[in-house]
């Protein structure tokens, strides 16, 4: 049944491409034993397949933010946060070990480094802001390979 179906779709589309290139019609009706395909050509609709069989799908999976693997970078110290001289921006790609910023604590600077490869999703701290233990400073979306590696 599936083979028959795929063969019908292939044949119908081939017919359509061949016919449409030679004529200026705006509507096509292709009818088979178990299926009907209706195509309208207009200014708004260059080609409008009314049925897209799953076997030919080209949809790319894009996860919602909530489904992303997000690493929250929290402060381990109580102190004053300092961004790098070249401040990170949302969307920056970062690697494991990349310096994200520092926390000044008892006049010492404690460096904050990324534990993962990924992309800066959110910056939740301002320069010279007082931070306490556990405050989320950055959100990093982990690289997908990391996620798959973790899962596997």
Partner 1 sequence: MSFEKVLIANRGEIAIRIIRACKELDLKTVAVYSEADRDSLHVKMAEEAYCIGPASPTESYLNIVNIISTAIMSGADAIHPGYGFLAENPRFAEICEQYRLKFIGPSAHVIQIMGDKARARETLLNIAPIVPGSNILEKLPEARNIAHDLGYPVMVKAAAGGGGKGMRIIQNPQQLENLWPIVQAEAKGAFGDYRLYLEKYLSSPKHIEFQILGDNYGNIIHLGERDCSVQRRNQKLIEESPSCVLTHKLRKEIGSIAVKCARKVNYTGAGTMEFLFDQENKKYYFLEMNTRVQVEHPVTEMITGIDLVKEQIRVAGGEKLKYSQEDVNIRGHSIECRINAEDPDRFFSPSSGRIERFSLPGGPGIRVDTYLQDGIYVNPYYDSLLAKLISWGQDRNEAIERMLRALKEFEIIGVKTVIPFHIKSLKHPFFIDGKMGTDFIERAFSD
Candidates 4-12, 13-21, 27-35, 126-134; binding stretch for partner 1 (CB under 8 A): 126-134
Q: Does 80 interact with partner 1 (rule: CB under 8 A)?
A: yes
- Is 149:123 a contact under the CB 8 Å cutoff? no
- Is 147:63 a contact under the CB 8 Å cutoff? no
Q: Does 134 interact with partner 1 (rule: CB under 8 A)?
A: yes
Structure tokens, 65: 């933010």
Contact with partner 1 (CB under 8 A) among 28, 37, 105, 121: 105
Q: 122 exposed, middle or buried (CB, 10 Å; 0-12, 13-18, 19+)?
A: middle
Q: From CA 16, how far away is CA 76, in angstroms rounded?
A: 64
DSSP 56: G
Residue 21: name the closest of 3, 36, 41, 6 by CA: 41
Residues in 34-63 at the binding interface with partner 1, rule: CB under 8 A:
none
Q: Does 79 interact with partner 1 (rule: CB under 8 A)?
A: yes
Contact with partner 1 (CB under 8 A) among 99, 133, 136, 144: 133
State the DSSP H helix or E strand holding residue 105, giving kind and residue range, or none if neither. Answer: strand 99-105
Q: Does 124 interact with partner 1 (rule: CB under 8 A)?
A: no
- Size of the residue set binding partner 1 (CB under 8 A): 11
51 vs 133, beta carbon nearer partner 1: 133
Q: How far is the CB of 113 from partner 1 (least distance, A)?
A: 18
Which stretches of the chain bind partner 1, using CB under 8 A?
A: 77-80, 105-107, 130, 132-134
């Amino acid at each position: 049944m599936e083979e028959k179906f795929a063969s019908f779709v292939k044949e119908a589309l081939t017919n359509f491409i061949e016919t449409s290139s030679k004529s200026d019609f705006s509507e096509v009706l292709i009818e088979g034993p178990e299926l009907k395909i209706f195509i309208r050509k207009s200014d708004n609709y260059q080609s409008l397949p009314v049925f897209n069989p799953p076997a030919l799908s080209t949809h790319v999976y894009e996860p919602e933010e909530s489904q992303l693997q997000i690493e929250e970078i929290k402060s381990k110290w109580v102190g004053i946060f300092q961004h790098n001289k070249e401040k990170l921006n949302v969307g920056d790609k970062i690697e494991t070990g990349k310096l994200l910023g520092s926390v000044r604590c008892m006049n010492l600077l404690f460096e904050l480094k990324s534990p993962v490869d990924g992309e800066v999703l959110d910056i939740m701290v301002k320069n010279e802001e007082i931070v306490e233990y556990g405050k989320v400073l950055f959100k990093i979306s982990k690289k997908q390979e990391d996620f798959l590696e973790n899962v596997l």
